[in-house]
Structure formats: structure tokens, C-alpha cells
Amino acid sequence: MKRSENKLSKAKWIPPLSIFAGLCIWELFVKLSNYPAFILPAPSRIAQRFVTASKTGILWPNVWVTFYEVLLGLLTGCAAALVIGYFLAHSPVAEKIVFPYVVVSQAIPLAAIAPLLIIWFGSGVRPKIVICALTVFFPLLINILVGYRELENNLSDLFTSMKARRWAKLKYLEFPGILPVLLGGLRISATLSVIGAVVGELSGADAGLGYLINIARGQYDTALVFVALIMLMVIALVMYGSVIFLEKKLIRWNE
């Protein structure tokens, strides 16, 4: 037992050590190759740019805008997938009618839809929220339908024989039954929503990390581009970690 615990404690240090080693190699490579900063900035220069951007106030307002878009887009897409998935799961005819349109809509690249949404909704946060919702909607809908199909028929028949109301059946059987699959899809969707927000911001925005990337790219401020990319990674990790936290709180019984 002690040996296994020691191995686990040592394994925890592998990811941070590998990241540190990668940063050191990156720093050394930039210094030895003499690349100009606008092509490949060193990690130390990116860290300095992060501090400067934080002090001047151009970083955190844009981080908040992107996080707000990601959060609302994820919640909107999840709510839409839950409602539509419920009706499609209980109506095979409606599923056959609606599902082809859902599949076809996912075949269209979001980068092609984003300019249209900006024309229709303006350059504010609304089109980005819609893009985020569209990004996460399809994988969540698929997971919800799979979850409904994996529910045990005998339990459903038991609720029906007891003349349980539809709301009671949803509350005590269907929603807890699909919750593990739903949260599994939410893990993927939490990171996809960040991509949706950035696609919308790169197409046209006056705030957000995608907007900051456009500004930095135009000024050949590559260090600031890396700062924005790192903050996008942080947002994705925060969203992913939040879903894992929800899993541990909501489906302890599944363990």
C-alpha cells in the first residue's frame, strides 16, 4: 500500500514538471535561435506582457466578456437540448421529422454562420451566445437521447403501472437516469463553448479575447496573442473543472 501511495504522490508531480520543462526548452530555443519577438516570443516575454496587460486594464474586461458569453451560451444550449431532447425522446415521429434538420445544421461550419448572426443580432454579446449555444447543442442532444434510450424499461413500466404523473416520472426516474450521460456530454461541451465564443469574436466584436487577438495580431503583438490564448485555456479548464465538481455533487449515487 505504501509503495502504491508513493507512486501516486510522485505521479502527481509529472504534469507540472513536464510543463516546466517544456517552458524551459521553449525559452532556451528562442534565445538560441534569435527569433524576433513578433514571430515567437519567449515565455518570459509573454509573462511580462501579461503583467503589462493586467496593469493597463485591457486584459481582464475582455476575459470577463468572453467568460460571460461562454457561460450563458453553455446554459442556453444545455436548456435547449434538454427541452428538445425530452420531446424527441417521447415522440419517435417528431424525432424522425426534426433530427435530419439538426444533423444538417451541424454540417454547416460555425465560421460561415457567425457573420450572418452578427448581421442579424449586431456586434454585441448576443450573437456570440447564440454561436456558443449552437456549438454545444448537438453533442448534448445526442447524449440526452442516448440517456433516455438507456433507461430501464421495467422501471418505466413500474412508474406507468403506478399511474405516476409525467412530472413525477421526469423528476424521479428520467432526469436522474440521464444525468450521468448528460454531464459526460457537458464535459465536452464546456470546452466547445469556448471555441464558439472565439469564433464569434473573431468574426466581429468590440470586446472579448477574440477581439483582443484581432487587435494584437494587427499590431504584431504576438506576446499579447499568447496571453489571450492562455486565458482561453484557463476559461476552458475552469468550465471543465466546474462540470467535474457538479458530477461529484449530483451523482454520488452513481459511484
What lies within 8 Å, CB to CB, of 172 at 6+ separation is 159, 164
pTM: 0.82
Q: Does the pLDDT value for residue 135 go beyond 70?
A: yes
Percentages (nearest 5) of helix, strand, coil residues in the chain: 85, 0, 15
| Measured distance CA(212)–CA(205) in Å, rounded | 9
SS3 of residue 152 by DSSP: coil
Least confidently predicted of 6-10, 17-21, 61-65, 109-113: 6-10
Nearest 5°: CA angle at 69, between 245 and 240? 20
Write phi, then psi, for 34 (nearest 5 degrees).
60, 35
Q: Looking at the domain that runs over 53-250, which CATH code has it been given?
A: 1.10.3720.10
Least confidently predicted of 10-14, 93-97, 227-231: 10-14
The residue extents of the domains of the chain are: 53-250
pLDDT digits (tens, 9 = 90+) for 147-181: 777 765 555 555 665 566 666 666 666 677 777 77
Q: State whether the Cα torsion 36-40-45-49 is positive or negative.
A: positive
DSSP 202-214: HHS-SSSHHHHHH
In terms of pLDDT, which residue wins out, 110 or 215?
Answer: 215
Write phi, then psi, for 130 (nearest 5 degrees).
-65, -45
Residue 38 per-residue DSSP state = T
Which of 240, 138, 236 is closest to 183 using CA atoms?
A: 240
Q: Does the pLDDT value for residue 2 go beyond 70?
A: no
pLDDT for 96 = 82
pLDDT digits (tens, 9 = 90+) for 188-245: 888 888 888 888 888 877 888 888 998 888 888 888 999 999 999 999 999 888 888 8
Q: Does the pLDDT value for residue 64 go beyond 90?
A: yes
pLDDT band at 25 (very low <50, low <70, confident <90, very high): confident
Span 22-42, average pLDDT: 82
- Residue 233 vs residues 60, 66, 71, 79: alpha-carbon distances, Å: 15, 12, 15, 25
What lies within 8 Å, CB to CB, of 149 at 6+ separation is 89
pLDDT for 72 = 92
pLDDT band at 252 (very low <50, low <70, confident <90, very high): low
Q: State whether the Cα torsion 123-236-191-133 is positive or negative.
A: negative
In terms of pLDDT, which residue wins out, 175 or 3?
Answer: 175
Q: State whether the Cα torsion 247-249-254-255 is positive or negative.
A: positive
Span 33-58, average pLDDT: 86
What lies within 8 Å, CB to CB, of 97 at 6+ separation is none
